[in-house]
């Protein structure tokens, strides 16, 4: 099994447990993939925006200083995937889940060798149209944990049978972040740590299983903050 990109240039760098699309030079790997975790077709121009902000001078540090690298040439910009969020806690509380999420941004992991040093986030419109502008530079562990989730996902029997599109799923109000693998026939939700024992990090859940776990968390938050939405 390989993780590959479709509809864009097929370029790969091989890791120990998987093949991640990060603009490498091993394009022939794609021909050996029967099923895959695929990257979506992102809007044009995103990589240019990322390069622009990598060169920015954010005194007293530059972006590169912040990431802990000395040259842009030392970084590889991964192919992007979408950041999705739940539109309102009322949806989760009523048992609705993936049908109510929206695409808010595109996330580009920044690689130094085989290490993830950060991620750059670019705003997107509601229809997955053109990129709008720089949103944020993220240096949390979620980028590294995303790669760990993908390495574990390659072992799943479902992933060996059909393609799944990689997405990120976030609901900050209840402290929920997950890798979302979207397939034609089903969806796989892989929560990222920390989970505070509410669900199991890196365990694959179906949409219905995850919705059942998220519902009481949303109800609890709504009682604490009446009328709160994401």
SS3 content of the chain, % helix, strand, coil (to 5): 30, 35, 40
- Rounded to whole angstroms, the Cα distance separating 30 from 5 reads 9
Whether 13 has a pLDDT exceeding 50, the answer reads: no
| Of the candidates 174, 177, 202, the residue with the CA atom closest to the CA atom of residue 90 | 174
Whether 88 has a pLDDT exceeding 60, the answer reads: yes
pTM: 0.81
The pLDDT of 95-105, averaged and rounded, is: 92
| Of the candidates 104, 85, 88, 89, the residue with the CA atom closest to the CA atom of residue 169 | 85
**Quick one: pLDDT at residue 144?**
84
**Quick one: pLDDT at residue 24?**
30
Average pLDDT in the chain: 80
**Quick one: pLDDT at residue 130?**
63
**Quick one: pLDDT at residue 127?**
56
Task: Indicate the pairing of strand 164-171 with strand 81-86.
Answer: parallel
**Quick one: pLDDT at residue 43?**
84
Whether 32 has a pLDDT exceeding 80, the answer reads: no
Position with higher pLDDT, 65 vs 27: 65
């Amino acid at each position: 099994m390989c993780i590959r990109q479709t509809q864009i240039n097929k370029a790969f760098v091989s890791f120990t447990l998987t093949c991640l699309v990060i603009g490498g030079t091993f394009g022939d790997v794609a021909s050996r993939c029967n099923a895959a975790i695929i990257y979506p077709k992102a809007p044009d121009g995103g990589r240019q925006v990322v390069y622009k902000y990598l060169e920015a001078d954010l005194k007293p540090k530059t972006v590169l200083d912040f990431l802990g690298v000395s040259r842009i040439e030392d970084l590889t910009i991964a192919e992007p995937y979408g950041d999705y969020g739940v539109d309102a806690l009322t949806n989760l509380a009523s048992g609705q889940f993936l049908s109510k999420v929206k695409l808010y941004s595109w996330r580009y992991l920044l690689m130094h060798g085989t290490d993830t040093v950060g991620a750059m986030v670019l705003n997107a419109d509601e229809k997955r149209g053109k990129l709008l502008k720089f949103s944020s530079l993220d240096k949390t562990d979620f980028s590294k944990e995303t790669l760990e989730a993908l390495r574990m996902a390659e072992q799943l029997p479902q992933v060996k049978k059909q393609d799944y599109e990689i997405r990120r799923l976030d609901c900050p109000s209840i402290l929920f972040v997950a890798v979302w693998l979207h397939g034609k026939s089903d969806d796989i939700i892989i929560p990222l740590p920390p989970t505070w024992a509410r669900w199991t990090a890196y365990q694959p859940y179906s949409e219905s299983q995850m919705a059942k776990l998220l519902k009481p968390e949303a109800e609890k938050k709504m009682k604490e903050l009446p009328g709160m939405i994401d």
